[in-house]
A and B are shown apart, each in its own frame.
Chain A
Amino acid sequence: MNKQEEFNTTSESEKVYNILNLGPTHPATHGIFQNILKMDGEIIVEADPTIGYIHRAFEKLAEHRPYNQITPITDRLNYCSSPINNMGWHMTVEKLIGCEVPKRAQYMRVIIMELSRIADHVICTTIIGQDTGATTGFLYFFQMREKVYEIFEEICGARLTTNIGRIGGMERDFSPVAWEKLNKFMKEFPEFLSEFQKLIERNRIFMDRTIDCGPISAERALEYGFTGPNLRAAGVDYDVRVAMPYSSYEDFDFKIPVGQNGDTYDRFMVRIQEMWESISIIRQAIDKMPEGPIHADVPEFFLPDKEEVYSKMEALIYHFKIVMGETAIPKGEVYHSVEGGNGELGFYLVSDGGRTPYRLHFRRPCFIYYQAYPEMITNGLLSDAILTMSSLNVIAGELDA
C-alpha cells in the first residue's frame, strides 16, 4: 500500500515539503513525544522521533536505593499497569535471594496482574477508538478502568502508582470489601466489554480506518525485538506467561490470541481477546484460591506489626533494618521477565552484595516499539500515524524510564 505513489503528480525536483512538528505537547500523542515529520501534503515522507522528554534516570536512581524502595520507581514505568511492574520487580529479587512464595500469594498476584492487564488494555483499546473519533466508546468503557482502580485501592490503598505487594509475597490479604468489589467487577466487566465490542469492532468506518494502518510484518517485528500484544498481532505466539511461566501461570488454562497482519486492527483485536482471557484467568484463580500464608518466610523484607516491634527484639531488629535499608542481599546476577501490559517487561539485576543493586536495567517494551515507529508510519497519512502510536500503546513513562 503505497499512498505516496497514488497521489504523486509532480516530479521529485519541484516538490516542496512541509515540516510538521508533532509534539512534544500534542494532545494525540498521549505523553511527551516529539516527531518531526516531513510531510508531502498529508503524507508522511520522513519521520524523525526524539525521546527523553521525561527521562528520570530510573536506572541510575535504582543504584542508590535499597531493594524495597525500588518498587515505587517501577510504578512509574508503565503507569497504566503499575502492579505488573511491581510484581515483576518483586519476583526478580525473589529469584536472586531464592525465596519460595506461598501459593496463595502467587494466586493473589495473578489476580492483581490480570486486573492491571485489563486496565492497560482498556486504556489502549479505548484510546484507539478515541483517536478514530469514537469518543463514546472511550468514555463509556473507561469506567471499567475506574472499577479496577477501586479494587486496587481496596487492596493496597493506592490507585495509579500502586506499590502493591512486597518482596516475598503480599503485604496483606484481600479484605472482604476487596473480594466483594472483585466479584462485582467480574460480573459487570464482560457485559461492558461485549457492549464495547459491539459498538466498535465491526463498525465499517472503524475497520476502514484501522485495517492496513501502520502494519508491521512478523519478521520485522522480531528483528526489532517486539513482544507482547504487538508481536502477537503480527502472528507470533510468544507470551512470557507461557514461554517462561512465573507466579503459577502454569496452573491456569488460557489461550493466546494471535493476529495476522500486525496492523492497528489486529493489535486492537488481540487486546480485546486478551481481556476475555484475563477474565477467564481471574475466574480460575478465584475458584482455585488456596488457603495459607500470604508471605514467604523472609522477615527481612516484611515490615512486622507495630505491637511486635515494641514487644519482641527480633521484630525490632527487622523493623530497623527494613526502614534503614540495611537488608543483606547475596551477590549475583539475575534476569526475570513478566508479561507486562504491552510486552515483555524484563529486569536485569546485578548485585555485589551491598544494600543497593550494583546495576539494574529495565527491559522496556515501549522503548523497542518506538524504534520501529518511524518505519511504520512512513508513506502513511497523518491520521494513520496517530492511530499507529495509540495502537502500539507507547507509554512515555516507560519509553523514557
Chain B
Amino acid sequence: MDPLIIKAIIVLIVFAITLLIATYSTYAERKVAAIMQDRVGPDRAGPMGLLQPLADAVKMFMKEEIIPSVSNKWLFILGPCIAMLTATMTGVVIPWGGPITIGETTFDLQITDLNIGILYLFGVVSLGVYGIMIGGWASNNKFSLLGAIRASSQMISYEIAMGFAIIALVMTTGTLSLKEIVLQQDAGFANVVYQPVGFVIFIICAFAETNRAPFDLPECETELIGGYHTEYSSMKLGFYLFAEYINMFISSAVIASFYFGGYNFPFQHELANALGMSANALSILQVVMFFGKIIFFIFLFMWVRWTIPRFRYDQLMNLGWKVLLPLSLANIFVTGIVMWAMGKL
C-alpha cells in the first residue's frame, strides 16, 4: 500500500480519537463535578446520560449564529478557527504505541516522528494564544478584551517556565524527538524520577496553558462573564470550548509521554514473555496503558478544577515570574551539575 494512504488513515484515526475523547471529556467533567458536589449530573440523554455530548453538539449547531455588528467579522470568525486548528495539530508528534506488523509492513503508531518534535509541539501550542487573543479583540467587548489580555499575558509568562522545564528534560534525554524520549523510558525509570521538579513545573504550566482552573482567569465566569468568548454563540463558541478539552487531552498525552514513560508500563516485556504475547498484542496493550495514563491526567485536571479556587491576576503573574521561572532555571542548573558530576556531559 502507498505509505501516504497509510499515513492518511492514521491521521484520520488519531483525529477521530482526539475528537471522541474531547467530546466525552465534557461529559466526564460534568459527571466528575456532579459526584464531587453531591449531585447527579447529566442523566437524561441515553443510558446514564451517555448521549449528552451528542445532544450538546446538535444543540451547538442548531443555535443561532450571532456576529456582533461592531465586531471585526473576519477576525471574529478566524479566532475560534485558530484555536481549534492549533489544538488538533498538536497530536501529530505523539507516539501512541509500539509498532504493529501486518504481513511484511510495519506501522508506527505515530503520525510522524519529527526529530524536533518537542519544538514543533511547543510552537503549535504557543500559536494557540492567537485564537484567544484575536477572538477577544475582534468581539469589541470590554470584558472579552480583558479576558484576551489576561490570556495572552498568562500564556506568554507560563510558556517560558514550561520551556525551561523541558530544557532540563532535553538535557537528560539528549533528544528532541518524542519517540526517542518514550523509547528511552522503556529500559530505565520513567523521566519523572530524574526530573521531579521539572515535572511539577511542567504540570503547573500545562494547567495555565490550557486555561484550566486555578488558572482560568481568561474565562473567569464570575467577573468577566466568560472572558474572551462572551460574544460568541453557536458552534464558534463550541469550537472554543472544544479546543480547551482537546488541549487538555493533548497535554495529558504529552505529560504521560515526557514524564511517565508514554506507552511503556513496568515489566511489560516480562509480562509479554510470561503470557507468550506477540509483539502486536503487546503494542495494543501499550496503547491501552497509554490511554489509561491520559485518562488519569484528564481526571487530575478535573479534580483540581473542582477543588481549588482561582488565582487573582497579579498573583498569577507573581507565581509565573517570581516562583516558577527562577525554579525552572535552578532546575536546569542543578540538572547540569548532577550530570557533570556523574560524568554524563
Interface of A toward B, CB cutoff 8 Å: 3, 18, 20-21, 26-28, 41-42, 129-136, 139-140, 143, 199-200, 203, 205-206, 208-209, 381-386
Contact = CB atoms under 8 A, between A and B. Distances in A.
A136 B311 contact: no
Nearest to B224: A382
A42 B146 contact: yes
Interface centre among B36, B39, B142, B216 (most CB of A within 10 A): B142
Given A28-B225, A381-B314, 5 more contacts: A20-B143, A133-B309, A134-B309, A140-B38, A143-B38
B222 A386 contact: yes
A135 B306 contact: yes
B33 interface: yes
A177 B188 CA distance: 66
A323 to B, nearest CB: 45
B310 interface: yes
B340 to A, nearest CB: 36
B306 A18 contact: no
Given A28-B223, A382-B223, A133 B310 contact: yes
Nearest to B38: A140
B215 to A, nearest CB: 10
Interface string B260-293: 0000000000000000000000000000000000
B4 interface: no
B18 to A, nearest CB: 27
A386 B223 contact: yes
Interface of B: 33, 36-39, 142-143, 146, 149, 213-214, 216, 220-223, 225, 306-315
Nearest to A138: B37
A21 to B, nearest CB: 8
Nearest to B150: A42
A136 B223 CA distance: 18
A205 B146 contact: no
Contacts of B222: 27-28, 130-131, 133, 386
4 tightest A-B contacts by CB? Answer: A133-B310, A132-B309, A139-B37, A133-B309
B166 to A, nearest CB: 26
Contacts of A42: 146, 313-314
B112 to A, nearest CB: 39
Nearest to B306: A136
A386 B223 CA distance: 7
Query: DSSP class of B's interface residues: helix, strand, loop or mixed?
Result: loop
Contacts of B213: 133
A26 B314 CA distance: 23
A42 B217 CA distance: 12
Nearest to A384: B312
Contacts of B36: 136, 140
Contacts of A205: 214, 308-311, 315
A209 B214 CA distance: 12
A20 B309 contact: no
B139 to A, nearest CB: 15
B138 to A, nearest CB: 18
A170 B223 CA distance: 43
Contact of A209 (B37, B38, B309): B309
- Which residue among B306, B308, B309 has the maximum number of chain A CB atoms within 10 Å of its CB? B309
A250 B149 CA distance: 56
Contact of B307 (A21, A27, A130, A136): A136
Contacts of A200: 309
A209 B314 contact: no
A140 B36 CA distance: 8
Given A18-B142, A20-B142, A382-B146, A208 B312 contact: yes
B141 to A, nearest CB: 11
A106 B307 CA distance: 42
Nearest to B315: A208
B136 to A, nearest CB: 14
Given A136-B36, A382-B146, A203 B223 contact: no
A20 B308 CA distance: 28
Given A131-B222, A133-B213, A133-B216, A140 B37 contact: yes
Contact of B308 (A3, A28, A134): A134
A345 B282 CA distance: 72
Contact of B221 (A3, A27, A209, A384): A27
Contacts of A132: 309-310
Contacts of A203: 308-309
B214 A133 contact: yes
B218 to A, nearest CB: 12
Contacts of B314: 3, 42, 381
A27 B309 contact: no
Contacts of B220: 133, 383
Contacts of A21: 142
Contact of A383 (B149, B216, B307, B313): B313
Contacts of B309: 129, 132-134, 200, 203, 205-206, 209
A209 to B, nearest CB: 6
Contacts of B221: 27
A42 B143 CA distance: 11
Contacts of A384: 312
Best-buried of A130, A136, A384 by chain B (most CB within 10 Å): A136
B70 to A, nearest CB: 15
A83 to B, nearest CB: 26
Contacts of B33: 135-136
A26 B309 CA distance: 20
Contacts of A134: 307-309
A361 B277 CA distance: 85
8 contacts: A21-B142, A28-B222, A131-B223, A132-B310, A140-B37, A140-B38, A203-B309, A208-B311
Nearest to B214: A205
Contacts of A199: 307
A193 to B, nearest CB: 15
A136 B37 contact: yes
Contacts of B312: 208-209, 381, 383-384
Contacts of A209: 309, 311-312, 315
Contacts of A386: 222-223
Q: Which of A26, A132, A133, A383 has most B Cβ within 10 Å?
A: A133
Interface centre among B33, B38, B216, by most chain A C-beta atoms within 10 angstroms, is B38
Nearest to B34: A139
Nearest to A127: B222
Contacts of A20: 142-143, 146
